[in-house]
C-alpha cells in the first residue's frame, strides 16, 4: 500500500509550526525592532522609524566591538578547555573501573544547577575577604587576591565558572559517542599492535568526530548567549572587562531603554553565531568537490 504524501506533513507539521513560533518569529521581530527607536513602557504607536541607523550605530560603536572581542576570547578559552577536559574525562572513564558510576554522576551535577545559583556560588568563592579560593591560597602562603576587582582575574573567574558548569555536557556527549564505537574496529586495531594513544587518536576520536563537531557547535552557541552567570558574578565589570555581547545587549535594552539598538546588536550576534555554527558543521561533514 502506497503511503500518502500528506502523511509526513501531518506528523512534521506541528513540530515545524512550534519551531517557527518559538524561533523564527522572535528573530524576525528583533530584526523589525532594529528599524525603530522604541522604549519599554510606551505604546508601539509611539515608536519612531530610524531605518538602518541602529545597525550602522551598532557596527560603529567601539563598545559593541569590545564586547564582541571579549565574547570571542571567552568562548575560545572556555570552550577549548571544556572540549579537552570533557573528552579526557570520557576516555578516562570509558573502561569499567571501581567507582565509575559514582564519578559519572558527580561530573554531571554542575550542569544541573541553575545558572543564577552557579553565579552566586562562584561569587562567594571568589570573595576577596571571605572566599574559599583566597582561603586555600592562604594555606600555601599566597596573598589574597581581589578576583572580581581586577580585569584579568575577573575574566579568569567567569571562564572558570563556565568550565566548571559545562564540561559535564561535553563529558556526557563523548561518553555516549564512545559507547557506540564499533568494538570490532577497536579489536582489529589492538590485534594490529596499536598502542593506547594510537587507538585513541587514530581510531576512536576520528570515528566520533561528527559528535565532537556537534558538541563544539552547541557549546559555541551557548558560550555566545551566556548571561546569568556573568550577570551575577561580575555584571560585566570591573569596567567592561567581562562584558560579553549578550550582557551588553541586556544593558542596552533594559538599563539604557534602547530596545531598537539592542535588537540591532542582537542581529549582529546572530550573524556571528550562525557563521561559527556553519564552521563547526563543516568539521563534521566537510563539503566535497566531486569534480
What distance lies between CA 210 and its chain's CA centroid? Answer: 18
**Measured distance CA(155)–CA(240) in Å, rounded:** 10
Are the C-beta atoms of 250 and 226 separated by less than 8 Å? Answer: no
Question: What pLDDT sits at residue 285?
Answer: 63
Are the C-beta atoms of 38 and 260 separated by less than 8 Å? Answer: yes
Q: What phi and psi values does residue 101 have, to the nearest 5 degrees?
A: -60, -40
Which residue intervals of the chain are DSSP H helices?
A: 6-19, 25-33, 53-60, 62-92, 100-108, 115-125, 132-139, 151-179, 183-191, 196-199, 205-207, 209-225, 228-233, 245-250, 259-284
Q: pLDDT by residue for the chain (291 residues), tens digit each? A: 566 777 877 888 888 888 878 878 888 888 888 999 888 778 888 888 988 898 999 889 999 999 999 999 999 999 999 999 999 988 888 776 676 777 777 888 888 899 999 999 999 999 988 899 999 999 998 888 999 999 999 999 999 999 999 999 999 999 889 888 888 888 888 888 878 778 888 888 888 888 898 898 889 889 998 999 999 999 998 988 999 999 999 999 888 888 889 999 999 888 888 887 787 777 666 544 444
**Measured distance CA(29)–CA(157) in Å, rounded:** 35
Question: What pLDDT sits at residue 94?
Answer: 77
**Measured distance CA(75)–CA(69) in Å, rounded:** 10
Domains of the chain: 50-284 (1.10.3720.10)
Looking up cell 556527549, which residue turns up? 173
Three-state secondary-structure class, residue 241: coil
Question: What pLDDT sits at residue 265?
Answer: 92
Question: What pLDDT sits at residue 204?
Answer: 86
pTM reported for the whole predicted model: 0.86
Amino acid at each position: 500500500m502506497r503511503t500518502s504524501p500528506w502523511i509526513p506533513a501531518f506528523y512534521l507539521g506541528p513540530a515545524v509550526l512550534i519551531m517557527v513560533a518559538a524561533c523564527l518569529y522572535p528573530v524576525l521581530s528583533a530584526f523589525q525592532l532594529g528599524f525603530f527607536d522604541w522604549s519599554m513602557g510606551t505604546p508601539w504607536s509611539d515608536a519612531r522609524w530610524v531605518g538602518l541607523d541602529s545597525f550602522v550605530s551598532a557596527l560603529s560603536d567601539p563598545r559593541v566591538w569590545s564586547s564582541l572581542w571579549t565574547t570571542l576570547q571567552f568562548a575560545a578559552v572556555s570552550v577549548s578547555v571544556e572540549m579537552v577536559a570533557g573528552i579526557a574525562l570520557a576516555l578516562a572513564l570509558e573502561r569499567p573501573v571501581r567507582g565509575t558510576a559514582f564519578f559519572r554522576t558527580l561530573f554531571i551535577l554542575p550542569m544541573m544547577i541553575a545558572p543564577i545559583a552557579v553565579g552566586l556560588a562562584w561569587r562567594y568563592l571568589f570573595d576577596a575577604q571571605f572566599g574559599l579560593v583566597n582561603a586555600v591560597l592562604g594555606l600555601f602562603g599566597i596573598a589574597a587576591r581581589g578576583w572580581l576587582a581586577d580585569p584579568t582575574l575577573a575574566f579568569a573567574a567567569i571562564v572558570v565558572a563556565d568550565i566548571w558548569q559545562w564540561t559535564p555536557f561535553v563529558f556526557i556527549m563523548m561518553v555516549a559517542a564512545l559507547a557506540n564505537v564499533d568494538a570490532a574496529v577497536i579489536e582489529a586495531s589492538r590485534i594490529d599492535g596499536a598502542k593506547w594513544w594510537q587507538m585513541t587518536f587514530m581510531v576512536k576520536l576520528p570515528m566520533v568526530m561528527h559528535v565532537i563537531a556537534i558538541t563544539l557547535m552547541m557549546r559555541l552557541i551557548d558560550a555566545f548567549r551566556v548571561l546569568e552567570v556573568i550577570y551575577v558574578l561580575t555584571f560585566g565589570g570591573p569596567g567592561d572587562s567581562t562584558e560579553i555581547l549578550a550582557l551588553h545587549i541586556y544593558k542596552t535594552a533594559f538599563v539604557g531603554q534602547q530596545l531598537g539598538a539592542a535588537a540591532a546588536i542582537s542581529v549582529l550576534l546572530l550573524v556571528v553565531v550562525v557563521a561559527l555554527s556553519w564552521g563547526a558543521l563543516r568539521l563534521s561533514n566537510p563539503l566535497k568537490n566531486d569534480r
